[in-house]
Amino acid sequence: MEGLPEGDHFTSLLLQATGGFSTSNATILIIAILILLLMSAVIAGAETAFFSLSAKDIFFLKTKERGSARQAAQLLEQPKMLLATILVANNFINIAIVITTNVFIRLIIPPSMSALLSFFIQVVGVTFLLVLFGEVLPKVYATQNNLRMALFSAAYIKILMVIFRPVSAMLVSSTRFIEGKISSKSANNISSEDFEHAIELTVGHSATREEVNIFKGILKFGNITAKQIMRTRLDVTALDHDMSFSEVRKHCLEAGYSRLPVYKETLDKVAGIIHTKDFLPFLDLDDYNWHTLIRPAYFVHEGKLIEDLLKEFQQKRIHFAMVVDEFGGTSGIITLEDIMEEIIGDIRDEFDEDDLNYKKIDNNTYIFEGKMLINDVCRIIGEPSDTFDACKGESDSLAGLILEIRGRFAAVNESVRFEQYEFTVMALDKMRIQRVKLTIHPLAPKEH
């Protein structure tokens, strides 16, 4: 046929098969293009929707019994297969759109049109359809309505996963093979315990115990999260937004902290941060609108590594952050001082109380407060921070650890044991463990 670029044999054959231009052929091609564009849009939107769901959205899907929610949750259990299916299906559909659109354009353009202009129209037409209707619009919508889009497309993606499973499985297997090769190169990395032992051997004889602990703190620094060292919400001193200036002034003097969070109704609704130094020019006033002194709060997720958080503190020139969980609720607070203490040990100034929250009886016996963080307990007794990972579950305090081990609330003088560590509850306040005695029993010698 005239007007066709040389080498475009596949499109030529399709044109011959359709019998040239006719209203019915054009209608069929338009319907086919619209269907293919709709399929491409759903796939592109599903990709953005599924991989932008928050932990709260995923939890919502897992708690629902509706078919679409259950299907979406099942798809998210295999993220690699999900992504492979979306990519493979989208490529096949895009190829079909290119071919179908080219055939339609060839039917409607006059035969006398130059080959170069015809080619330009085809490229612009196909690109416009694919980019705008097959990528941009669905992804913009999915970004703003990711949960709704995930529920809408779950059944469709489930069918595609069955159809393209052989190809998707091959792609996933290939990526696992490559990952295995890459990880095998770093398989010879020594553990943190070996590093600690190396530190003891190399600098232990010439450095003080404090210096050795600093070396060990630097080694562990990259694996510690904000949740492990934060001050839990039960121990956070905060200001109610509805307090009067005199109440706030009195509260700040009693608390003795330089920065305090301000909340509305509950601590989960933090309105900002107050720096007590900002009150100095107004101490002589009986009434003052102290809300004008509230500064924006900085929020971090409890799973954030303190190594990254330290860099953010330095860049933003802040010393204080609110720690939130995956649902946006307040878990606690973390300060620059908390982060630095992980390297150089406890920092105590003239305003700190003498109560260290623990007491060492001997080398194997300690008394801790129940609210003390597991990470701090491990540091004090000289054990790795992951010592209790096998039994602590989601808990981060010593009281929570005892609850996880016991499976129920412990009574006063009741003991629970994990390996060589024995925890005895010494004091309770209602249902809250106040004091715990930790006894470290020597390990029995291994039989040879």
67-76 and 146-163 are packed helices; what angle lies between their axes, rounded to 10 degrees?
Answer: 70
Around Cβ 413, how many Cβ atoms within 10 Å? 10
Give the C-alpha separation, 406 to 417, whole Å. 9
Segment (H or E) for 174: helix 165-185
Place of tokens 């011959």: 16
The pLDDT of residue 5 is 43
Segment (H or E) for 209: helix 209-221
The three-state secondary structure class of 250 is: helix
- Closest to 74 in 3D by CA, of 176, 155, 152: 155
79-108 and 23-50 are packed helices; what angle lies between their axes, rounded to 10 degrees?
Answer: 160
The pLDDT of residue 414 is 81
Angle at 363 between CA 444 and CA 399, to 5 degrees: 85
Asked if 375 contacts 230 with a C-beta cutoff of 8 angstroms, the reply is no
Asked if 251 contacts 240 with a C-beta cutoff of 8 angstroms, the reply is no
The pLDDT of residue 210 is 64
Beta strand 432-440 pairing with 365-369: antiparallel
The pLDDT of residue 65 is 65
The pLDDT of residue 6 is 41
Asked if 15 contacts 107 with a C-beta cutoff of 8 angstroms, the reply is yes
Asked if 435 contacts 371 with a C-beta cutoff of 8 angstroms, the reply is no
The pLDDT of residue 218 is 66
Q: pTM to 2 decimals?
A: 0.43
Dihedral angle computed from the Cα positions of residues 228, 232, 236 and 238, in that order, rounded to the nearest 10 degrees: 100
Locate the DSSP E strands across 294-357: 299-301, 320-324, 330-335
Sorted by sequence, the CB contacts under 8 Å of residue 339 that are 6+ apart come out as 229, 306, 309, 310, 313
Give the C-alpha separation, 437 to 295, whole Å. 41
The pLDDT of residue 189 is 53
pLDDT tens for the chain, residues 1 to 448? 444 444 355 455 444 544 444 577 778 888 888 888 888 888 888 888 888 887 777 777 777 766 788 888 888 888 888 888 888 888 888 888 888 877 777 777 766 667 777 777 777 777 887 788 878 888 888 888 888 888 888 888 889 888 888 888 888 888 777 776 665 554 445 555 665 666 666 655 556 666 666 666 666 666 788 888 888 887 788 888 888 888 888 888 888 788 889 998 888 888 899 988 888 888 777 788 888 888 998 998 888 888 888 888 888 888 889 998 877 788 888 888 888 877 776 665 544 554 456 788 887 888 888 888 887 888 888 787 778 877 877 777 888 888 888 777 777 888 888 888 888 888 887 677 888 888 888 776 554 4
Indicate the residue type of 84.
A
The three-state secondary structure class of 429 is: strand
Place of tokens 């007007």: 3
The three-state secondary structure class of 207 is: coil
Burial class (CB in 10 A: 0-12, 13-18, 19+), 184: exposed
* Phi-psi region at 19: left, alpha or beta (left = phi > 0; alpha = psi -120 to 50): left
